[in-house]
Amino acid sequence: MGFLRETAVSNLDHAIAGAASGFITRFLCQPLDVIKIRFQLQVEPISKAHISKYNSVPQAFLLIFKEEGISALWKGHIPAQLLSVTYGMAQFYSYNVFMQMMQSVPRIEKWNHSMHFIAGAGAGSIATIVSFPFDTIRTRLVAQSNNHQVYKGVLHSCSTILRQESPKVFFSGLLPTLLQIAPHTGLQFAFYEFFTNFYKKYTSDTNTNFNNSMLSGSIAGFIAKTIVYPFDLARKRLQIQGFQHGRKGFGKFFQCNGLLDCLRVTVKEERIQGLFKGLVPSQIKAAATSALHFTMYEQVLLVLRIL
C-alpha cells in the first residue's frame, strides 16, 4: 500500500511538472508557432520571387506586427495554453507510467532506446487525443484575419463550431496528427535519452543537468520534427476545412478531403517542397520548445521533490 501511494505521488509530480513545463514553453515560443501556422496555411510559395503575403520569417513577423499589432503574435494564446498544459500533463504522466510498466519486464534494459521510443510514442498519442480540441480552436483563431474575424474567443469559437458545423470538427486532422505525434514523441524521447547519455559520457560539465537538458532537448526536437513534418502540415490544413470565410485576405484557400488527398493536392499544386512549408520556423520552434520543455520539466520536478 505504501508503494502504491508513493507511486501515485510520484506520478502526480510528473503531471504537475509536465503542466508547468508546457505553460512556460508555450508562453515563450507562441510567436514562432503563429508564424509556422501562417506559413503552413499559405498556398502561394514562401518566396520573395512571388507575390505572396508571407515570403520569409522576418518579413512575416514585421507584416503581422504592422497589420495586426504585437498581440497578434500571441493570437490563440489561451487555447494554446490550454493545449500545452493539458498535453504536457498527460504526456509526462503517461510516459512515466509506461516506463514503470516496461521496467518491470525481465531483461528489458538491453532495449533501453526502444523502451524510451515506445513509452514516448504511447504518451504522445494519449496526450494528443486528450488535448486535440484545443489545438483545433487554436489553429482557427491563429488562421483568421483581424479584418475578417469569425470567432471572438475560445468560448465563442466552441459554440460557433457546434452550432454551424459538428462536434467531430474538433477532431479534424486527428489521424495525421497521431501518425505524426506517435513517432515524433517517440523519437524525441529516444534522441533525448541518447544525447543526454552522450553528453554525460564525453563532457566534464559541472552544471550537467541544466546544460545537458537544454542541448540534448534542442537537438532531439530539431531532428524529430524534421522527420515527421509533412504530417504536421497536413494536420493544420485539415483543421481549417470549412473555414473559407475566415481566411479572406490570405490568398488562395486550400481545399482537400482527408489525409491522403491533402498530401496529394499539396504536391500537385505546390510540388514536393510544399510538404515542407514553414519548416524553418517549425525547426527553430521545435528546438526551442523541446529544450525548454525537457529543462523546465526536470527543474520543476526537482523543486517538487525538495518540497
What's the confidence (pLDDT) of residue 123? Answer: 95
Radius of gyration of the chain (CA): 20
- How far apart CA 26 and CA 30 sit, in angstroms, is 6
Q: Kindly report the CA angle at 30 between 231 and 175, in degrees rounded to 5? A: 20
Q: Kindly report the CA angle at 191 between 187 and 193, in degrees rounded to 5? A: 120
- How far apart CA 117 and CA 16 sit, in angstroms, is 22
Q: What pTM, to 2 d.p., does this model score?
A: 0.73
Instruction: Note down pLDDT in tens along the chain; length 307 residues.
Output: 333 344 554 778 889 999 999 999 988 888 888 888 888 888 888 877 677 888 888 999 999 999 888 888 888 788 888 889 999 999 999 999 999 888 888 877 778 778 999 999 999 999 999 999 988 888 888 777 766 778 888 888 899 989 988 888 899 888 888 888 899 999 999 999 999 888 888 876 655 678 888 999 999 999 999 988 998 888 888 887 877 766 666 777 788 888 889 999 999 988 898 899 888 888 988 899 899 999 999 889 888 888 7
One-letter-per-residue 3-state SS of the chain: CHHHHHHHHHHHHHHHHHHHHHHHHHHHHHHHHHHHHHHHHCCCCCCCCCCCCCCCHHHHHHHHHHHHCHHHHHCCHHHHHHHHHHHHHHHHHHHHHHHHHHHCCCCHHHHHHHHHHHHHHHHHHHHHHHHHHHHHHHHHHHHCCHHHCCCCCHHHHHHHHHHHCCHHHHHCCHHHHHHHHHHHHHHHHHHHHHHHHHHHHHCCCCCHHHHHHHHHHHHHHHHHHHHHHHHHHHHHHHHCCCCHHHCCCCCCCCCCCCHHHHHHHHHHHHCHHHHHCCHHHHHHHHHHHHHHHHHHHHHHHHHHHHC
Domain ranges within the chain, ordered by starting residue: 2-306
Q: How many CA atoms lie within 13 A of 134 on its CB side?
A: 16
Residue type, 297: Y
Q: Of 148, 125, 304, 288, nearest to 222 (Cα)? A: 288
Q: Of 72, 257, 216, nearest to 149 (Cα)? A: 72
What's the confidence (pLDDT) of residue 208? Answer: 62
Q: How many CA atoms lie within 13 A of 90 on its CB side?
A: 19
What's the confidence (pLDDT) of residue 5? Answer: 40
Q: How buried is 20 (Cβ within 10 angstroms: 0-12 exposed, 13-18 middle, 19+ buried)?
A: buried
Structural class in CATH, domain 2-306: mainly alpha
- How far apart CA 143 and CA 130 sit, in angstroms, is 22
